Amino acid sequence: QLQLVESGGALVQPGGSLRLSCVASGRTFIDYAMGWFRQPPGKEREFVAAISRTGGVTNITESVKGRFTISRDTAKNTVHLQMNNLKPEDTAVYYCAAGISIPVVIDGRGNYWGQGTQVTVSS
């Protein structure tokens, strides 16, 4: 079983930055594509970003493109989501996900999931 633990969520002002981290354990990290989803208050969970097993391919949802980047550190079994120029509409619980490929991660049905970390963007 793959375990995922997120960290880095916080209250931040509009225009600020945050870096979320997700540490994976229990299985071989490079066997999995990784991703981030978010669930805004009162809404369904939505895809944010994904990265391939080697880190060579990324997929970023249009609404955050140019502001968010995803990266992975194989030596530390960690995936990051760097979020810049945050907006109030970025407020959500952010979830780390792992799947066998980027399409599987984006689909969401075959993923392992973390417990989530709260990001609140407010002045």
Residue 102 CA neighbour count, 13 Å, CB half: 15
Pairing relation of β-strands 92-99 and 117-121? antiparallel
**Which pLDDT belongs to residue 3?**
96
Kindly state the greatest CA–CA separation across the chain. 41
| Residue that wins the pLDDT comparison between 108 and 76 | 76
**Which pLDDT belongs to residue 110?**
78
Cα 63 from Cα 22, distance rounded (Å): 22
Whether 109 has a pLDDT exceeding 90, the answer reads: no
**Which pLDDT belongs to residue 86?**
98
pLDDT tens digit sequence for 78-105? 999 999 999 999 999 999 999 999 999 9
Q: How many helices (H) and strands (E) does the chain have?
A: 1, 11
